[in-house]
Structure 1
Amino acid sequence: MKNLLSLIAVVLFGISAQAQSGAKIEFKDKDNTIDYGTVTKETDNGIRVFEFTNTGDAPLIITNVQSTCGCTVPSTPKEPILPGKKGKIEVKYNMNPGPIRKTITVESNAVNYEGGKVPLKIKGTVVAPADVNVMEKKKSIMNQ
């Protein structure tokens, strides 16, 4: 009988732990990742937006947003996001040619992520514009 009561207590405790109340953050992007694709600095300003919703029952407070390097600059929402409301975190990448593989860490009071920390990722490739050789340009003009 004692074992049965202990088992029931453990199950009830487990269920109550799963039904946490508080702020919860849910991002719109699949796997919390934005793919830039293949872009050039001339055609893309490097700004992307991570949209999220507070699906919890308490205001969501984002305390810090930081990047793994200085080439990616994230913005931090200043006001708490009320339950059911949407918010956004804007990220600007400096568009240096090469692969993009960066992580942005969002710190908040969200109870659905361990420690309230959510990793966001950006990926893609920035290509340099094709260099035009002045001699080849003259040849193509003369051949026309």
Structure 2
Amino acid sequence: MKRILIFLLTVVLGFHYGNAQNIGIAEVKNGFGSSIPVVNDTINLGEIYLDDLAEEHGKIDIKLTNADSKPLLLRSVKGCCGTNIKAWPKAPVLPNKQTEIRVEFRIEPKPQRISRTVTIESNAKGKPVVKYHIVGLVMNRKASNEIEL
């Protein structure tokens, strides 16, 4: 009796999980979701000199455009390494409309490389997870009497 119950439970759970996966495949095949056209996934802050460093260098707006005929839903927006996501749209982004994600992070006032990543999860077909990389370099200004070899 115990073996029969375990077998039936295994069969029922197998059908349950099998159907759940088929729904996901059907959604992709039917073109469910929108698309995010990513022109450039790297935001380069360039070289920032220490004496020019301001709080504004750590504030970035990432612009997204819904390039499809269906609404774009952002499921989550996450930043790494002390990157704060200040604002992102919780409501659907309508077709051919643009939205912004406000990102802020602190840049230590010392020579360093800047490397941050913002991960966006959405209902976009083909590529539901998009990563934007924020890079840059904080450096000292060279003295006028220094010679570079």
Paired residues for 1:45-84 under 5 Å: 45=56, 46-70=58-82, 72-74=83-85, 75-84=87-96
**Residue equivalent to 1:92:** 104
Residue 81 of structure 1 aligns to which amino acid in structure 2?
V
**Residue equivalent to 2:37:** 26
| RMSD over equivalenced CA pairs, Å | 2.4
Q: Do the aligned residues in 1 keep the contact of 2:34 with 2:123 (CA within 8 Å)?
A: yes
Q: Do the aligned residues in 2 keep the contact of 1:57 with 1:83 (CA within 8 Å)?
A: yes
Q: So what's the TM-score if we normalise by structure 1? A: 0.65
Q: Do the aligned residues in 2 keep the contact of 1:54 with 1:84 (CA within 8 Å)?
A: yes
Unaligned runs of 5+ in 2: 1-27, 143-149
Aligned residues: 109
Distance 1:24 1:108, change over 3 A: same
Unaligned runs of 5+ in 1: 1-15, 131-144
Identity over aligned residues, as a percent?
Answer: 30
Q: So what's the TM-score if we normalise by structure 2? A: 0.63
